[in-house]
């Protein structure tokens, strides 16, 4: 439904594709860290700080939940990110109260956080609303602190601060997410084992897809994947069940099944993006640049203006990007992120995305194919089958 303050003809609102099922909301570009692998342009000062308001978020939620505009039939997913998302914790909590009070089937919610501001009260309140809180932890102390630093106190250990806050926080409904870099793979298996012993039952991992990996670094990635597979297989066989859920295994299996059918998983983009400036955007890749550079040229409507999403403009961009991505072979290769983001980000910076896509080819093959090999080894384990094989793969792009 349109925002109650808007005056708009319902018949003029566009209907989106029925596969769009995830709304990714960037509540702020402010962050207390300056991590080198961040996939969005963040603000460390007041001059370029941008935060979402309820005036823009409420109509965006209404549009996303409206079957007439976003007609996906199953349970939808709402993802909150930043900057540091918990800077806007009151706004997030208000939105969850709103969604659960208004809609018969509210979305599943994920909140990404660096963990440096979280409290037990926040966790308790968020988890009342089917919320998964995902902590960004890039390995053990040495690997994590190599890349994750406080912007105003670089000498302070991020690891120590987050571990202190995790003490006493219930881990049910919480997860970790690790970005793998060339500098943090040593000791990463031990770190994941430690996270599991803390009580986390979902531990995911992604590649640093903004780093240009050298052949030597890709070889090190392959060695790490062998180490991870051996650890995960050993624990599963010894314990009779998987030690923890790794969503990226689903991603690898989904990619493989789509490629086997001659399809490409990212062609139908399942995500709608809402920026912290209150605009919908055609691609998350635009957010690698400051809002001041993208707001006028790359938005596909502002939810508070009552016009809904300009789905036609969004699709026109998708089609344009697809044509170019296909010339680079991105439609016939393994991926762990949507390669359109490179097309968008590099284009906005006046660069060709070819080198970034070639980099993604090299690394994602090593990463995802190793996870498929792990699945082959464990395909007869009942716990593994129930978690990864006996359900419809439905992985957002």
Asked, for residue 171, whether it belongs to a domain, the answer is yes
Asked, for residue 145, whether it belongs to a domain, the answer is yes
Asked, for residue 393, whether it belongs to a domain, the answer is no
Q: How many domains does the chain have?
A: 1
Asked, for residue 4, whether it belongs to a domain, the answer is no
CATH value at residue 383: 3.20.20.70
pLDDT at 1 over 50: no
pLDDT at 397 over 60: no
pLDDT at 23 over 60: yes
The tens digit of pLDDT for each residue in 217-241 reads 999 999 999 999 999 999 999 999 9
Asked, for residue 8, whether it belongs to a domain, the answer is no
pLDDT at 272 over 50: yes
Instruction: Note the pLDDT of residue 396.
Output: 46
The tens digit of pLDDT for each residue in 137-146 reads 999 999 999 9
Regarding pTM above 0.85, the answer is: yes
Asked, for residue 326, whether it belongs to a domain, the answer is yes
Instruction: Over range 156-176, report the average pLDDT.
Output: 94
Strand order in the sheet with 203-207: 203-207, 174-180, 131-136, 108-113, 77-81, 22-26, 271-274, 280-281
| Residue 161 pLDDT grade (very low, low, confident, very high; cuts 50, 70, 90) | very high
Residue 193 sits in which domain range? 18-387
Mean pLDDT of the residues in the chain: 91
Instruction: Note the pLDDT of residue 45.
Output: 59
Share of the chain above pLDDT 70, in %: 93
Asked, for residue 7, whether it belongs to a domain, the answer is no
Asked, for residue 396, whether it belongs to a domain, the answer is no
The tens digit of pLDDT for each residue in 69-83 reads 999 999 999 999 988
Instruction: Over range 118-128, report the average pLDDT.
Output: 95
pLDDT at 8 over 70: no
Instruction: Note the pLDDT of residue 37.
Output: 67
């Amino acid at each position: 439904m349109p925002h109650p303050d808007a005056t708009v003809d319902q018949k003029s609102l566009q209907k989106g594709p029925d596969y769009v099922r995830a709304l990714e909301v960037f509540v702020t570009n402010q962050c207390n860290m300056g991590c080198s692998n961040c996939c969005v342009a963040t603000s460390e000062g007041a001059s370029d700080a941008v935060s979402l308001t309820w005036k823009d978020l409420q109509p965006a939620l209404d549009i996303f939940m409206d079957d007439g505009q976003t007609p996906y039939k199953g349970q939808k997913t709402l993802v909150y990110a930043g900057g540091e998302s918990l800077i806007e914790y009151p706004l997030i909590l208000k939105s969850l109260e709103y969604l659960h009070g208004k809609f018969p089937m509210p979305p599943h919610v994920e909140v990404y956080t660096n963990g440096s501001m979280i409290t037990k009260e926040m966790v308790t309140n968020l988890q009342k609303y089917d919320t998964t809180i995902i902590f960004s932890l890039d390995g053990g102390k040495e690997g994590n602190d190599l890349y994750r630093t406080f912007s105003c106190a670089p000498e302070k250990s991020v690891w120590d601060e987050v571990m202190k806050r995790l003490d006493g926080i219930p881990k049910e409904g919480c997860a970790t997410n690790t970005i793998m870099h060339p500098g943090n793979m040593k000791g990463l298996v031990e770190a994941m084992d430690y996270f599991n012993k803390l009580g986390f039952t979902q531990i995911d991992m992604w590649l640093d897809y903004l780093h240009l990996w050298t052949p030597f670094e890709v070889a090190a990635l392959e060695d790490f994947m062998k180490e991870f597979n051996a650890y995960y297989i050993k624990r599963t066989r010894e314990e009779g069940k998987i030690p923890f859920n790794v969503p990226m295994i689903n991603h690898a299996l989904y990619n493989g099944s789509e490629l086997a059918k001659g399809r490409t998983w990212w062609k139908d983009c399942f995500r709608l993006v809402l920026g912290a400036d209150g605009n919908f955007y055609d691609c998350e890749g635009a957010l690698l640049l400051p809002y001041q550079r993208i707001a006028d040229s790359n938005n596909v409507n502002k939810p508070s203006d009552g016009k809904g999403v300009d789905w036609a403009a969004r699709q026109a961009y998708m089609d344009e990007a697809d044509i170019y991505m296909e010339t680079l072979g991105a439609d016939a290769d393994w991926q762990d992120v949507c390669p359109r983001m490179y097309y968008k980000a590099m284009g906005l910076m006046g660069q060709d995305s070819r080198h970034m896509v070639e980099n993604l080819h090299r690394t994602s093959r090593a990463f995802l194919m190793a996870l498929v090999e792990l699945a082959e080894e464990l395909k007869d384990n009942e716990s593994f089958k129930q978690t990864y094989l006996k359900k419809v793969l439905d992985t957002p792009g």
